[in-house]
């Protein structure tokens, strides 16, 4: 059973606007969450993470929000750029654990 879910397979956004990618999880033991970006024929690249002791973490144009009560996290990209077009995966784990669980990915297209 999928413990991490990304329910939107694709998203299109105009350049300069905000992109919001969503992720839900079912395991309440998860306390470490990550976002990865993947271009075709490359491995996933780490973008940003958040620990469950926080509800927000920012890194430049990327912000991750965590809502523990809803078991929901989101990635905001502002402003969106054509180079952001890629597949985005969310992942979750227990901080002291070894296994990371990934969602199925959301393909983001930023339209110039």
Partner 1 sequence: DAGITQSPRHKVTETGTPVTLRCHQTENHRYMYWYRQDPGHGLRLIHYSYGVKDTDKGEVSDGYSVSRSKTEDFLLTLESATSSQTSVYFCAIRSRDNSPLHFGNGTRLTVT
Binding site for partner 1 (CB under 8 A): 4, 6, 32, 34, 36, 41-46, 49, 51, 89, 91, 95-96, 98-105
What is the rounded distance in angstroms from the CA atom of residue 75 to the CA atom of residue 52? 15
Query: Judged by CB, which is closer to partner 1: 15, or 109?
Result: 109
Residue with tokens 């996290």: 73
Query: Judged by CB, which is closer to partner 1: 38, or 71?
Result: 38
Q: What are phi and psi of 111, to 5 degrees?
A: -90, 125
Query: Judged by CB, which is closer to partner 1: 22, or 104?
Result: 104
Query: Judged by CB, which is closer to partner 1: 13, or 91?
Result: 91
Answer for the pair 45, 105: CB distance below 8 angstroms, yes or no.
no
Give the shortest CB-26-to-partner 1 separation in angstroms. Answer: 14
Give the shortest CB-62-to-partner 1 separation in angstroms. Answer: 14
Burial label for 96, CB within 10 Å (0-12, 13-18, 19+), is exposed
């Amino acid at each position: 059973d999928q413990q991490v879910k990304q329910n939107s397979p694709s998203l299109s956004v105009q350049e300069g606007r905000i992109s919001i990618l969503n992720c839900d999880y079912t395991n309440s033991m998860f306390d470490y969450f990550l976002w990865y970006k993947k271009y075709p024929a490359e491995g996933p690249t780490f973008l940003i993470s958040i620990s469950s002791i926080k509800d927000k973490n920012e890194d430049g144009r990327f912000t991750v929000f965590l809502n523990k009560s809803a078991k929901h996290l989101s990635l905001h990209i502002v402003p969106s750029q054509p180079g952001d077009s890629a597949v985005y995966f969310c992942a979750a784990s227990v901080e002291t654990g070894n296994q990371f669980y990934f969602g199925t990915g959301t393909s983001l297209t930023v339209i110039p």
